[in-house]
Amino acid sequence: MNFDNDDIQFDKLIVQEVAPRDGLQIEPTWVETADKIALIDQLSTAGFTRIEAGSFVSPKAIPALRDGEAVFTQIERRAGVIFVALVPNVKGAERALNAHADELNLVMSASQTHNRANMRMSCEASLVGFGDIVRLAKHFPVSLNATVATAFGCPFEGKIDEDRVVSIVDTYREMGIDGITLADTTGMANPRQVARLVKRVLQRVPAEALTLHFHNTRGLGLANVLAAYEVGARRFDAALGGLGGCPFAPGASGNICTEDLVNLCDEIGIPTGIDLPKLIALSRTLPALLGHDVPGQLMKAGRNCDVHPVPDYVRAI
Amino acid sequence: MNFDNDDIQFDKLIVQEVAPRDGLQIEPTWVETADKIALIDQLSTAGFTRIEAGSFVSPKAIPALRDGEAVFTQIERRAGVIFVALVPNVKGAERALNAHADELNLVMSASQTHNRANMRMSCEASLVGFGDIVRLAKHFPVSLNATVATAFGCPFEGKIDEDRVVSIVDTYREMGIDGITLADTTGMANPRQVARLVKRVLQRVPAEALTLHFHNTRGLGLANVLAAYEVGARRFDAALGGLGGCPFAPGASGNICTEDLVNLCDEIGIPTGIDLPKLIALSRTLPALLGHDVPGQLMKAGRNCDVHPVPDYVRAI
């Protein structure tokens, strides 16, 4: 792809909004269930086709999301919007299915150490649990996605062997899990690595089933999106306001910011179907909701087209 | 260029450190002359070949840099390091030459409105002043660079005609100014626009004479660097800690962060010659010097190779 070719028609880039899950899970301030539902209902009218609306993990591990059932059963369901639930094990899957999640997102790390830190079990034990979830899910109208966390690097182990990531993708697919997410859990990916690994994975997984999940920990989130898009990836996780981070990964910080990503796409000419002004307005409600500033940059700077008034001293020159 | 080609040998990327000028000019806290000199002396041992060490503008307009003479005459001059001074007019050029700046950086905006806001004069008047500076500089052992500010967008006027930017570049070169900087003063550029405009300018200016100056206002700074590098640009401004912003451009925020850029290059395999651990240590001194947090991300997150200790509860699993 040549970004500098004026005549190019870009494919749609699908943004999966993950702020209600990856964004809120690390917040120390309790967000009321009604506020979570209102946030998700606002998001689902902004043009998203996929929203990760919560997780069904132990309330002891992630107290911020202990109200998953209430959230999933009370949000407004909208035609064309898939509501995804992160689940760590078969117990979580049962809860998510009871709450009518449209899709389950299973998570295992490529790094054994991070999987033990995050999931409190070995990768092998995680895969046994995935098998149970796949068997259970067959009886429900639900789709399955599985994430390879720390796919681009681990905060404990450092570099992750790319062959191992590809092999996990193959295992997921052989188990009957259609959707695959490659997650850069603590923002260690670089665009060259992303292009190389995504190219390999796209030989095994169709673009419509592959999601890239980047964090902006070292400032490379949007550069990584472009690198992945250029080699054929079309679906990306992002969080309103750039919220997020993994409570069990030291040094983790925010997801790539949804409105910053949509602005990039708007400026380049990549269609997303998402209402950017609505998103900016929603993002600007987050500091009051959470009690702190958020990393998103567009909600502070505004769009390029939001020009500033000319100061009086300039008019006088 | 294919970033995903394992065998590629990347050209060197030259980072011009601009924190002492573009970084400090907007700081409300006065930084002592001795502290500025110490910062520049530290930077000049970190592997930079070019440092924009200050500006010679009206002390009323930019009080933070009113000690330009003292800084330029007291910093340690080091073989192979070019110390650049920003100058707005012939009076500033005289001051910079008296202080033995190695290079003068002249600035005019592509946007008439921003030039009036920033330089208090029309573009035409700026160019007349540039002529005077060029004539003066002939008598000194000094090189000249001229910046096209707001080359990718103006906070007052919005879009900037690319033909106008190219035409200004031609004018600069015809006046005998060798070095050219394209500046995205308020972070409005996107990678597609960058690739298109840089390609055009590289048909007129050799890569070794062209500098790209990006701000990270909307999170696209490093993506823009990669887009420019891919079409042949090799020299980039960046500020330690991601400091910076133009006092006369509403919405302006920090430059791209030097250590975040060098980390990107290190991770991808692009040589810079810069000592990243030294840079991170230096960036971590900035909050105490300036009295506030800085936007740089690597100085908070650390490098990928700085792995974290495995928690005890993980060892027990």
As for how many domains chain B has, the answer is 1
Whether pLDDT at A192 is above 90: yes
Structure ipTM over 0.90, yes or no? yes
Work out the minimum CA distance from A298 to partner chain B, whole angstroms: 5
pLDDT, residue B3, reads: 62
Residue A141 belongs to a domain? yes
From CA A52, how far away is CA A82, in angstroms rounded?
Answer: 8
Question: What residues does B184 pair with on adjacent strands?
Answer: B214
Q: What count of residues does chain B have?
A: 317
Averaged pLDDT of chain A: 95
Closest CB to A190 among B257, B268, B310: B268
pLDDT, residue B235, reads: 98
Tokens representing B236 are 């980039």
pLDDT level of residue B249 (50, 70, 90 thresholds): confident
Work out the minimum CA distance from B152 to partner chain A, whole angstroms: 10
* A304: contact with B, CB 8 A cutoff: yes
Q: Which residues numbered 251-270 in A keep a CB inside 8 Å of some CB on B?
A: 251, 253, 257, 260, 263-264, 267-269
Dump pLDDT digits (tens) for B121-171: 999 999 999 999 999 999 999 999 999 999 999 999 999 999 999 999 999
Closest CB to B3 among A192, A253, A267: A192
Dump pLDDT digits (tens) for B53-104: 999 999 999 999 999 999 999 999 999 999 999 999 999 999 999 999 999 9
pLDDT level of residue A2 (50, 70, 90 thresholds): low
CA distances to A61, A115, A287, B144 from B72, in Å: 56, 54, 43, 17
From CA A46, how far away is CA A115, in angstroms rounded?
Answer: 34
**Domain range enclosing B117:** 14-315
CA distances to A51, A58, A92, A149 from A133, in Å: 21, 16, 9, 18
From CA B211, how far away is CA B105, in angstroms rounded?
Answer: 11
Q: Which residue has the tokens 């700026």?
A: B126
Work out the minimum CA distance from B63 to partner chain A, whole angstroms: 19
From CA A49, how far away is CA A71, in angstroms rounded?
Answer: 18
Cα A239 → chain centroid? 6
Residue B135 belongs to a domain? yes
Instruction: Tell me whether residues A219 and B157 touch, CB distance under 8 A.
Output: no
CB pairs under 8 A between A and B: 161
Q: In CATH, what number is assigned to the domain containing residue A280?
A: 3.20.20.70
**What percent of chain B is predicted at pLDDT more than 90?**
92
Picking from B304, B298, B264, the residue whose alpha carbon sits closest to that of residue B280 is B298
CA distances to A47, A122, A146, A260, B108 from A20, in Å: 16, 27, 18, 17, 45
Tokens representing B152 are 């990718």
Neighboring chain B residues of A122 at a CB cutoff of 8 Å: 317
Q: At what angle do helices A276-283 and A33-43 cross, to 10 degrees?
A: 160
Q: Catalytic amino acids of A?
A: 246
Whether pLDDT at B4 is above 70: no
From CA A192, how far away is CA B4, in angstroms rounded?
Answer: 5
Neighboring chain A residues of B155 at a CB cutoff of 8 Å: 307-308
**What percent of chain B is predicted at pLDDT more than 70?**
97
Average pLDDT over residues A280-294: 96
Q: Residue B80 burial (CB < 10 Å; 0-12/13-18/19+)?
A: exposed
CA distances to A160, A230, B313 from A148, in Å: 11, 21, 22
Q: Are B223 and A264 in contact (CB under 8 A)?
A: yes
| Residue B113 or A248, more confident | B113
Residue B8 belongs to a domain? no
Whether pLDDT at B119 is above 60: yes
pLDDT level of residue A314 (50, 70, 90 thresholds): confident
**What percent of chain A is predicted at pLDDT more than 70?**
97
Dump pLDDT digits (tens) for B283-309: 999 999 999 999 999 999 999 999 999
Tokens representing B242 are 């991601």
Measure the N-to-C terminal CA separation of chain B; round to a whole number of Å: 46
Whether pLDDT at B250 is above 90: no
Average pLDDT over residues A236-256: 87
Work out the minimum CA distance from A131 to partner chain B, whole angstroms: 21
Residue of A nearest to B116 (CA): A314
Picking from B184, B301, B296, the residue whose alpha carbon sits closest to that of residue B243 is B296
Closest CB to B3 among A121, A195, A301: A195
Q: Are A264 and A277 in contact (CB under 8 A)?
A: no
Residue B74 belongs to a domain? yes
Helices (H), chain A: 33-43, 68-74, 90-98, 112-119, 123-137, 162-174, 191-202, 221-230, 258-268, 276-283, 286-290, 298-301, 312-315
pLDDT level of residue B222 (50, 70, 90 thresholds): very high
Average pLDDT over residues A231-259: 90
* Amino acid at position A28, single letter: P
Measure the N-to-C terminal CA separation of chain A; round to a whole number of Å: 46
* Probe site for chain B from A216, A308, A313 (most B CB atoms < 10 A): A308
**Left, alpha or beta for A269 (phi > 0: left; psi -120 to 50: alpha)?**
left
* Probe site for chain B from A190, A193, A225, A248 (most B CB atoms < 10 A): A190
Q: Which residue has the tokens 């946030």?
A: A39
Residue A146 belongs to a domain? yes
pLDDT, residue B316, reads: 74
Closest CB to B218 among A195, A223, A297: A297
From CA B4, how far away is CA A205, in angstroms rounded?
Answer: 19
Q: Are A217 and A186 in contact (CB under 8 A)?
A: yes
Residue of A nearest to B298 (CA): A218
* A316: contact with B, CB 8 A cutoff: no
Residue A9 belongs to a domain? no
* B216: contact with A, CB 8 A cutoff: yes
From CA B154, how far away is CA A308, in angstroms rounded?
Answer: 9
Instruction: Tell me whether residues B4 and A199 touch, CB distance under 8 A.
Output: yes
pLDDT, residue B1, reads: 45
Sequence-distant (≥ 6) Cβ neighbours of residue B128 within 8 angstroms: none
Residue of A nearest to B252 (CA): A301
Average pLDDT over residues A249-274: 93
Residue A7 belongs to a domain? no
* A190: contact with B, CB 8 A cutoff: yes
pLDDT, residue A250, reads: 74
Residue A101 belongs to a domain? yes
* Amino acid at position B317, single letter: I
Closest CB to B260 among A219, A300, A307: A219
